[in-house]
Structure 1
Amino acid sequence: MTAPHPLYLKLQPQGRVLIPSEARARLDVKEGDELILLELEDGYKLTSRRLLAQSLYGSLQKTGEMKDRDFTQELLDERRAEAKKKGW
């Protein structure tokens, strides 16, 4: 990715903002697509669902001690034990 450069936007009636074609191309969005405005400590970040998913991909991978745990099975086992205690 190249060094960031500012794109100036103007707030229009009814709170609408026109996103320049350059930014739409980089976000790979078209009319009707949903965008996500993320609040950060020092401002906001505008992104698309696809780009957000790409940035999060792999962030939930299990590592270390967690690698061998099956959390789905653990949850199912807990629920079955609770149901058994209640006589279901």
Structure 2
Amino acid sequence: MTTTPAYHLKIQAQGRVVVPTDVRADLGVQEGDELILLRDEHGYRLTSRRLLVLELQGSLRKTGAAAERDLTQELLDDRRAEAASKGW
């Protein structure tokens, strides 16, 4: 059984928090990079902009029957047919 590491962070002056070295490495961030703190139903989650973009791109990936359809082409075909029916 693997355990998830827990980090005890201390709020410093002006609300600053030091992110541990191994967490920064896992997030792929360096000094000056932006982090994103997300709130969800379980609490808060710290991530990097790069990891959030990768996550969002993955959530937009087409699956199942939609993976075989070209929705952009379908929309264009519909618009062209509509324009042709109106004599444009």
Structure 1 window deviating more from structure 2 (47-56 vs 13-22): it is 47-56
Work out whether 1:63 is the aligned partner of 2:71. Answer: no
One-letter code of the match for 1:8? H
Question: What is residue 10 of structure 1 aligned with on the other side?
Answer: 10
Runs of 4+ with deviation above 3 angstroms: 53-58, 74-82
Question: What is residue 23 of structure 2 aligned with on the other side?
Answer: 23
Unaligned runs of 5+ in 2: none
TM-score w.r.t. length of structure 1: 0.67
Shift of 1:72: 2.2
TM-score w.r.t. length of structure 2: 0.67
- May I ask how many residue pairs the two structures share in their alignment? 86
Cα RMSD after superposing both structures: 2.9
When you count strand as a share of all residues, which structure comes out higher? 1
One-letter code of the match for 1:39? R
Shift of 1:25: 1.7
Unaligned runs of 5+ in 1: none
Fraction of identical pairs, as percent: 61
Question: What is residue 51 of structure 1 aligned with on the other side?
Answer: 51
